[in-house]
Amino acid sequence: MRTVYLNGAYLPETEAKVSVFDRGFLMADGVYEVTSVLGGKLIDFPGHAKRLARSLSELNMRAPDAMGDLLEIHREMVTRNNLTDGLIYLQVTRGNPGDRDFHYPPAGTAPTLVLFTQSKPGFAHAPLAQRGARVISVLDLRWGRRDIKTVQLLYPSMAKMMAQAAGVDDAWMIQDGHVTEGTSNNAYIVKDGRIITRALSHDILHGITRAAVLRFADEAQMRIEERSFTLDEALNADEAFFTSASAFVMPVVEIDGTALRGGTPGPVATRLREVYIEESLKSAI
Ligand code: PMP
């Protein structure tokens, strides 16, 4: 049984309980982070901690008192759950005001802080990375502040189900003919040696993996264009891939039934995946 962290206590997962009046439950009024663990070490922890602080501040949500101890808590979760490879999920909600009300709770209301682990042995060597992911395009029907990592994930979840129904691995979301991002990852294409990915704005999540991958690509003198690209450009790209803390760099080999590169992972995506995992392991804590 897993050990879960809830508001200062480490509890067996069956004993960790949150109120029915919690704002996370009633209003999806919560933010989250997912940090990868490889070989028992945290990948990109400072990036995730920083984005959490930003999500909280954008929503005027009080930070948990344990905000300064997050690294220690993550490490304790790794130890208590014997986690070698996998994920640590962290969620903060605006807490339990004791009733349902659209207004934010009174100032003194304590936020709810939850962490749990998901074990994924050997997930850096996922078979999907060898084969390459297949995606479909779906309309992006999410709200306008996708840069805030909220737990309001119903539409991404619906899009995943559309992908599953279509027999593919994921969905890329389209707004005004342009790709915003994947259901739970940032989207890229490669054309004539240039890596193209949407610029940061309120339209997409500011991926921690995205930042690292673009940094490594830049250091390797690869050409990067941060701009929107159309679905049509993606269908005619030399390569495509997506990034996230849990998928690392994932080659995309098919979009809406159109195979890219004859349906095999491309050299840029494959190289970036290797570099990302290698470099991240070096700085893992
Ligand atoms: N976009 C969305 C919508 C996501 O949910 C995620 C995963 N959290 C990402 C991008 C990738 O972000 P990161 O690299 O920080 O995991």
Q: What is the pLDDT of residue 85?
A: 98
122-130 long-range contacts, Cβ below 8 Å, gap at least 24?
122/85, 123/85, 123/86, 123/246, 124/38, 124/85, 124/248, 124/277, 126/247, 128/169, 128/247, 128/250, 129/248, 129/249, 129/250, 129/251, 129/265, 129/273, 130/265
Q: Per-residue confidence at 285, pLDDT binned at 50, 70, 90?
A: very high
Is residue 212 lining ligand 1, measured as CB closer than 6 Å? no
Query: Which of 17, 41, 120, 149 is the catalytic position?
Result: 149
Is residue 35 lining ligand 1, measured as CB closer than 6 Å? no
Q: What is the pLDDT of residue 198?
A: 98
Q: What is the pLDDT of residue 50?
A: 98
Q: Which residue has the tokens 């809406």?
A: 256
Is residue 243 lining ligand 1, measured as CB closer than 6 Å? yes
Q: Which residue has the tokens 């790794």?
A: 78
Q: What is the pLDDT of residue 239?
A: 98
CB 268 within 8 A of CB 261: no
Q: What is the pLDDT of residue 281?
A: 95
CB 196 within 8 A of CB 238: no
Is residue 245 lining ligand 1, measured as CB closer than 6 Å? yes
Here the tokens at position 91 are 């969620």
Q: What is the pLDDT of residue 120?
A: 97
Burial 15-29 (b: 16+ CB within 10 A, else e): ebebeeebbbbbbeb
CA–CA separation, 281 and 144 (whole Å): 34
Q: What is the pLDDT of residue 103?
A: 97
Please write the tens of the pLDDT for every residue from 105-127.
Answer: 999 999 999 999 999 999 999 99
Compute the distance from residue 107 Cα to the ligand 1 centre, in Å: 30
Compute the distance from residue 249 Cα to the ligand 1 centre, in Å: 12
Q: Which residue has the tokens 């921690």?
A: 208
Q: What is the pLDDT of residue 186?
A: 98
Domains of the chain: 3-120 (3.30.470.10), 127-283 (3.20.10.10)
Angle at 26 between CA 23 and CA 30, to 5 degrees: 45
Q: What is the pLDDT of residue 165?
A: 98
Please write the tens of the pLDDT for every residue from 196-213.
Answer: 999 999 999 999 999 999
Please write the tens of the pLDDT for every residue from 58-108.
Answer: 999 999 999 999 999 999 999 999 999 999 999 999 999 999 999 999 999
102-107 long-range contacts, Cβ below 8 Å, gap at least 24?
102/27, 104/60, 105/23, 107/62
Q: Per-residue confidence at 9, pLDDT binned at 50, 70, 90?
A: very high
Closest listed residue to residue 64, CA positions, set 88, 30, 106: 30
> From the alpha carbon of 153, which atom of ligand 1 is closest?
5
CB 180 within 8 A of CB 173: yes
Q: What is the pLDDT of residue 196?
A: 98
- Name the residue with the closest Cα to ligand 1, atom 12: 207
Compute the distance from residue 244 Cα to the ligand 1 centre, in Å: 5
CB 208 within 8 A of CB 48: yes
Can you tell me whether residue 76 is helix, strand or coil?
helix
State which of 155, 184, 273, 276 you would mutate to test the pocket of ligand 1, scoring each by most atoms of that ligand within 8 A of its C-beta: 184
CA–CA separation, 182 and 175 (whole Å): 12
Q: Per-residue confidence at 195, pLDDT binned at 50, 70, 90?
A: very high
- Summary mean pLDDT of the chain: 97
Is residue 205 lining ligand 1, measured as CB closer than 6 Å? yes
173 Cβ neighbours under 8 A, 6+ residues apart: 137, 138, 139, 140, 142, 159, 179, 180, 181, 182, 183
149 is known as an active-site residue: yes
Number of Cβ within a 10 Å radius of residue 234: 25
Number of Cβ within a 10 Å radius of residue 218: 12
Please write the tens of the pLDDT for every residue from 225-257.
Answer: 999 999 999 999 999 999 999 999 999 999 999
Q: What is the pLDDT of residue 175?
A: 98
- Name the residue with the closest Cα to ligand 1, atom 1: 185
